[in-house]
Structure 1
Amino acid sequence: MRLGGISLRRSLLLIAVVLLLLFLWPWPMGSLAQSTPPFVVHLPCVYSPVPTPTPTLIPGDVPVLLSPACGSNVTTVAPELVWLAAGTYWYGVDIATDSSFTQVAARISPRSYLTGPERRTPLLINLQPGVQYYWRVGYEATPGSFVWSLPESFVTGDMGDLPRAPMLVLPESGTTVYSLKPHLTWEQLAGADMYLVTLGVNGNSFTYNILSPYPELNVPFPLLAGRTYAWRVKARNASGWGPDSTVQLLVTAQNAMAD
């Protein structure tokens, strides 16, 4: 028997298939219905010199390390350390070749940071190339006692092409200056993004470290009158710090002014 060109047997078969599909379909049943959890993509940790967006600061005084982190490979042997802190403590930084910090490679003495909550600590030395380092930041709760952050790690790049030593320009070595905040100038090097001036009373250690992105600076604090100072400069590029320049001397006059 045929109905509109379709046999009765075929019609019954189609109806049976539809009923079977309706029976097997996972219809929600009241309180037993469950929503499908959203699909979450876990991205790998990627080194970023300037994290974007800046993570929300965890409440409390313990610093939160931002970069470099997650064992990332950096392209320099003198990375800038970026971290968050809410407090107004003095903070110290440790860099080591082991996660327990028994093999400390560099230690930055406690100092205060006036900016925040994001803080930046440039390294003033080169680390060894191709080495995994761990770093942490701690606040000095009591003299000599620190509360440390959780550590992070990174792997340094190769030395690459480091800048050469810049030539010092002014004041010429042995010159007497009449300002206790003398103006220092040196050669500008292609590719250099930062210069480090070290300065100290001649015959003593180089007491002061002053950073400048330009090939010149005015000493930001008054020197002592009637003293001979030694100064030198080194440059940093994307690979790290180059060697120090030759040392030059300047003499502050007895009647020099702190202008």
Structure 2
Amino acid sequence: MLKRILASLFMAAALCAPAQARVDEVTYLKNGVYSGKIGTYALSGALYLDAAQAAKLIGGKIYWYPVSGKLLLQIKGKKVVFLMKSDSVVINDEAEQFPNPMIVRGGKAFLALNFFVSKHFADAFGFKLEYNPATGALAAQRAVNITSINYFSHQDKTRIVVYMEEPLEWQASQKENNLFKVTIFGGVVGREEKLSVGDGAVRGVDLLQENKMARVVISPDENFGKASVFKLSTLTGWSSTSRSWTCRCGRP
């Protein structure tokens, strides 16, 4: 009888135990080169990275305030703020929804791996990270150099502007299906975008990421006429550099 009671108590304790967790490591690669290891904590199927180790290898630093449960991750002047027991992060002073971004174990702060590979991270810091669960490797990709795309409708034309962090070469072409495409060599987008225009000249615009290049695909509308592509120059210090280009789609 006593053995049965003890067995029952043991089973009850096992059922009441916290979700299974384990501590491990991931490998960090920068441009394919080994940079170091990052400690991890796996909890309920989600993987978290040691915040201090991750920040150091990625090229940033953290400011951890354990009393308030606040952590600031800063990389090259850009910052993201995490709070304990919060389902949001503050990216460059703007709040974004993100479930369970941070946990604390043994006095250490751990940040969700899902955040590091999310569009929020790429938007905040200007480069992408990718995780390979088969190899346990977290890899830094090339820096984002195409930040956004926008359009401006005018009476005689539609202007489509691509904003870049550096001058890039491109090639424009128009296919038999009338799609107008601009290939940007070496372009890395923060995230793919799809713009719905519908102004009579342009139906929509897609910004796509492909291998070693980005592509802008313009879907013409019934009044689509001649299209031309040119650079817009901005003054930086003492030199003029092309930091964006415009596709002007005229009406016939």
Fold conserved between structures, TM > 0.5: no
Larger of the two Rg values belongs to structure:
1
TM-score by length of 2: 0.31
Bigger proportion of residues as helix: 2
